[in-house]
A and B are shown apart, each in its own frame.
Chain A
Amino acid sequence: MRKLPVKTHGIPLRGVQRVISLALLANEWESGLQFMVLVDSIGDAGILEQLVDGGLKNIVVCVPYHLDWHSHIMPTVACDTRALELHDVVVLNLEKQELLVVYRNSDMHHAIQLTNRCNSFCLMCSQPPTTHDDQWLIDEALLVAAHINDSPSAIGLSGGEPLLLGPRLREVIDAYATRLPSTRIEILTNGRLLADEVLATHLLTGISDKVSWLVPLYGHADFLHDFVVQSVGAFEQTIGGLLTLQSYGQAIQLRIVLIEPTLRVLPELCRFIGRNLPFVREVALMGCEPIGFALANRDACKTDLADWHAELIEAANALRRANVPYIFMNTPLCALPQSLWAHAHQSISDWKRSFREECSICVVKTNCSGLFSWHNHNWTPTVIKAIDGKACNEEVH
C-alpha cells in the first residue's frame, strides 16, 4: 500500500476521504462522504473556506508543502500532492502523520483489508496476523466502499482472514456489490470457517453473483496442508469449505504458493485437484513474497524455481489433463520453463513491482511479472537472467 508522509492541521479523527479537485467537488459532493480537496493556490483554498463558511462540514483541504499554508477554519493536510490522483480513497493516520492510499482507480489490482486477524499461521504469510480486535477495519472498509467513485473490473477483499468477520462479512460484500455494480468481488480466504454450516448459510444464501473466492490449498493430505498453514484440522475445514462454496455455485480460484513444502508435492497435489476439485475455475500457482513470515521461515520458503522445473511441468500437465485452467503468478518468466510462459500472468501490483538492471536487455520484459519490490539480491525467485531474442520463440507474443 502506498504511504505518504503528511502534516495535518485541525484534523480530529482518523478518517476515510475521497481525493478530489475543486472543479469536481460540486458534481460529486454528498453529505455522508468526506472529501479531501486538492488545491494548489491560496485563491482556490479561499473558495473552499467560503464553502465551509456556507456550511459544508465534510471537506479537508490538501495543499502542496510549498504553499506553506494552513486554514484556520478547516482541516488542512500538507503533502506532496503530486503523489495523489483524483478519486484516490485515502486514510489519514494522524499518529504517524501518514496518508495511506487504500484505493486508486488507475491501479490494475485493488484490495481492501478487512482484518489483521487470522485462524491460520502460514509459514510464508506475507502479513503475519495479530490478535487484536480490529472491528474498526470493517467499518472503515464499508466507508471505503462508499468513497470509491468507480466500478473497477475487480476488487479483492482480504485479511487476515475475512471469514473471521463472521456474518459481518456479508455486510461488507453487499456494500461493495451495491456500490460497485460492475465489479467482481474477490475474497481471499482460507475457507476454513465455511465448513460451519450456519455461517455458510448466512454468508452465501442469495449472495451477489459477482463474488468469487480465492482459497489456498497447500497439500493433498491433511498433514501436508496443516503443516504449511501451521494449524491442525485446517485441511479438512478448507476441503469442507470448498465443497460448501461449490454447493452454492460459487466461483473458486485455488491458490498454491510455491515454497519447498508445496513444490515437493505439487504434481500429486494437482492430480488431487483434478480428481477431487474439478469444479474450481482455475488454479493459481504463485511465487512466494519475501516478506512477513517467509523471511523468518527462509529454509522452507526461499527456493530457486529453476530447481523445480520438472515438478512445475508435471503439475501443469496434471491440471491440463483434468481440464482445470491454471495460471502462474508472481513468477518472472526467467524463473519458469519456457513451455509454461503462456500461463504466466503479470500479477504483481503496480506499487509492489520492480525490475532488475538485467531486465532492461530482456526481450520478454513486457510480458513479465517482474519482481516484488521487496525482493532483494539475497532472495529472488531464481537467478534473474535476461532472456535473449534467440532463446525466445513466438510463444510469448
Chain B
Amino acid sequence: MFFPFYARRLPDSHFLAVSRSGDYVFLGEEDLHKLTTAPQELELDRLAELQSKFFLGSPTRQGSLRLLASKLLAKRETILNGPSLHLIVLTLQCAHTCRYCQVSRSLGSLGHSMEPATLAAACEMIFESPSKSITVEFQGGDTLLRFDLIKFAIEKITERNLQEKRHLRFVVSSTLHQLDERMCDFFKQHNVYLSTSIDGPARLHNKNRPTPTRDSYERTINGINMARDLISPDVVSALMTTTRDSLLIPEEIVDEYVHLGFREIFLRPLSVYGFARRNFEHLGYSLSEFSLFYERAFEHILQINREGGDFREVMASVFLNKILSPFDGGFVDLQSPTGAGLAALAYNYDGFVYPSDEARMLAEMGDTSFRLGAIGETLDALLNSEVQQNLIRASTSPRIPGCDQCAYNSYCGPDPISAKNQAGDIFAAVHLTDHCRRNMWLFDFLFMKLHQQEKWFLDLAFQWANPTPEREFCCA
C-alpha cells in the first residue's frame, strides 16, 4: 500500500514525486498510476526503489517505519531542538541611507539603541533555549557604532557559558566601516565572525548604499581586509541584496565575490519590507526577472566550479540540503512549521522579542502584531503565546491549503511573516505569496538540474547539500 506523497509535473514535463521522508523519484505517468493503483505490477527494481524511498510500505514493516519516524525527526531537528539563532538588534543607528533599508535611523537620533539592562536580560534569556548550539548574531543599524554594547554582551554571554557549556558562536553584522584594531583583537579573542554586505561591484554597491562621502564600498573593503589580516582569513562573510540594477550584471556580481576572496555568495532577492516597499518601482522586479538573473549567475558559478574553483551559492545549497541530505542544515527561513520563533528569536532594541528579523522590521513600520513578549519574560511564555501558536498554525505545510497538495511540502512551508507583509494576513492564500512562488520556482529549477543526472553536477550538489561547520546557513 502506498504512503502519502505528492507528484508534480516539472516545467520540462517530467513527473517528480516526493514522499513524506523527502525522498524523490522521477517517474513516468504509467508508473505513477501503478504506484497508486496496483504497485504489485511495477517492475521489481522500481518497486524496490519506491519502497526504499517510503512511497510504499506496510504497517508490518516495523524497522522501516521506525526508520521513517527517525528521518522525519531528523528533518525537524532545527525546529525541535529549541531556538538556536538569537538575533540581538542593538541599535538602529546607521551612517547609510540605503535605498532598500526600512529601519535605520541617522547617527544623531537618540533612543534607538538597546538599554544595557535590557541587553543584560536578553543575554540571560538566550540560555533558556535548550539548544546545544547557540549562535548569537548582533544586528543593526550599524552595530559597530555601539561596540560598547557588543563587548558588554559577548563578555556576559561568554561568562555564563562557562557553566552552560553550549556550543557558542558569535556573529556581528556590520558595514565594517568603523572596524579598528582594538575591535579586531576582541573579536579574535572571542571567536567572533563578521558578516557584512557587498551588493556587487563598487558602482552598484555605492548606488544602493549611499553615504555622504560616497565611499561605502571602499570602506567596507578596507574593513574586510583589516579583519582578514588581524583576525583570520575566513572571518568575514558577505551578503548581497539583488536590486533592479543588479539584474543585468549577474556574472559581474559573482566575479566581484570571487575576486574579493569569498567562497560563497547568497543570491538573495530583495525582501520587500520598509523603505523597499515604498521604493518598489525603482528597486523591485518580478519573479521571472529575478529568476533570469539567478539562472545566469548560477550557470556562471557552475562554470567557476567546473574550472576547478570552489565557490558555492548559498540559496541553492539550502534547497539542495533539503532535497539531498538526511540532515537539516539549520536554515531557519525554510522550515515547516516556520523557524521564526521555534528556531530563531530577535531581541529588539525596543525591549521586545520578535520571532524573526523580518518581524521586527514590520514592527518598525508600525505592525507590532508579531511581538512575542518583552525581553525578560520566560521563553516558555513566548513560545506559548497566541502569536507564536498562530505562526505555527499558519506554517505547518501538510495542513495548509495549497501546501497540502504540494510536492515540495516535505522541504518547505509557508512564511506567515512575509505573507502578512505582502497580503496583510498570515493565512494569505499561499500560492499567491512571493515566498511560495519563488520557492516553487527554485525547487523546479534544481530538480530539473538533478534530473539531467550529470555526474559532475551531482557531485557538486551533494557537496553543497552538506554544510560544513564553518559554512552553516543559520547566520546567512
Contact = CB atoms under 8 A, between A and B. Distances in A.
B458 A239 contact: no
Interface in B437-459: 455, 458-459
Contacts of B458: 317, 321
Most buried by B among A221, A265, A272, A317: A221
A312 to B, nearest CB: 15
Contacts of A162: none
Interface in A261-293: 265, 268, 272, 274-276, 278
A243 B52 contact: no
Most buried by A among B62, B327, B458: B62
Given A224-B48, A322-B462, A236 B63 contact: yes
How large, as a class, is the contact surface on chain B? 20 to 34
A347 B352 CA distance: 63
B49 A243 contact: no
A220 B52 contact: yes
Contacts of B52: 220-221, 268, 272, 276
A129 interface: no
A72 B466 CA distance: 72
A322 B51 CA distance: 20
A278 B328 CA distance: 13
Contacts of B466: 323
Contacts, number: 63
A278 B63 contact: no
Interface string B40-78: 000011011101100000001111101100110000000
Most buried by A among B51, B61, B63: B63
Interface string A229-262: 0000001111111010000000000000000000
Interface in A204-227: 219-224
Contact of A243 (B23, B44, B51, B66): B66
Contacts of A317: 455, 458-459
A276 B67 CA distance: 7
B352 to A, nearest CB: 40
A240 B45 contact: no
A195 interface: yes
B31 to A, nearest CB: 15
Interface residues of A, number: 26
A265 B45 contact: yes
Contacts of B376: none
A195 B327 contact: no
Given A220-B52, A272-B52, A317-B455, A236 B64 contact: yes
B48 A239 contact: no
B326 A275 contact: yes
Nearest to A233: B60
Contact of A278 (B44, B45, B326, B459): B326
Given A195-B62, A275-B326, A220 B48 contact: yes
A26 to B, nearest CB: 53
Contacts of B455: 317
Q: Is the interface of A mostly helix, strand, loop or mixed?
A: helix
Nearest to A313: B455
A219 B48 CA distance: 9
A239 B64 contact: yes
Given A243-B67, A321-B459, A221 B48 contact: yes
A239 B326 contact: no
A43 to B, nearest CB: 65
Nearest to B50: A221
B49 A268 contact: yes
A237 B326 contact: no
A222 B327 CA distance: 24
A56 to B, nearest CB: 54
Contacts of A241: 63
Contact of A240 (B49, B63, B71): B63
A237 B63 contact: yes
Nearest to B23: A275
A265 B63 contact: no
Contacts of A239: 63-64, 66-67
A238 B63 contact: yes
Interface in B6-28: 23
Contact of B61 (A220, A222, A268, A276): A222
A380 B47 CA distance: 33
A255 B459 CA distance: 24
B62 A236 contact: yes
Given A221-B47, A272-B52, A322-B462, A278 B327 contact: yes
A240 B48 contact: no
A323 B324 CA distance: 12
A321 B462 contact: yes
Contacts of B66: 239-240, 243
Interface string A122-151: 000000000000000000000000000000
B63 A223 contact: no
Contacts of A276: 52, 67, 71, 326
Contacts of A219: 48
Contacts of A223: 44, 48
Contacts of B63: 195, 235-241, 243
A231 to B, nearest CB: 14
Most buried by B among A224, A240, A276: A276
Contacts of A274: 326
Interface string B83-122: 0000000000000000000000000000000000000000
B75 to A, nearest CB: 12
Contact of A222 (B45, B51, B326, B459): B51
Contacts of A220: 48-49, 51-52
Interface in A156-215: 195
Interface string A18-31: 00000000000000
A205 B67 CA distance: 21
Contacts of B44: 223
Nearest to B44: A223
B227 to A, nearest CB: 31
Contacts of B45: 265, 268
A306 to B, nearest CB: 21
A239 B68 CA distance: 11
Contact of A236 (B23, B61, B70, B459): B61
Most buried by A among B47, B51, B327: B51
B74 to A, nearest CB: 9
Interface string B454-473: 01001100110010000000
Nearest to A279: B326
Contacts of A236: 60-64
Nearest to B71: A276
A240 B68 CA distance: 11
Contacts of B51: 220-222
A240 B326 CA distance: 18
**Shortest 3 CB-CB contacts between residues of A and residues of B:** A239-B63, A321-B462, A240-B63
13 contacts: A195-B62, A195-B63, A220-B49, A221-B47, A221-B51, A222-B61, A236-B61, A241-B63, A243-B63, A268-B45, A276-B326, A317-B455, A317-B459
Given A275-B23, A323-B466, 10 more contacts: A220-B51, A220-B52, A221-B47, A239-B64, A239-B67, A243-B70, A275-B326, A276-B326, A278-B326, A317-B458
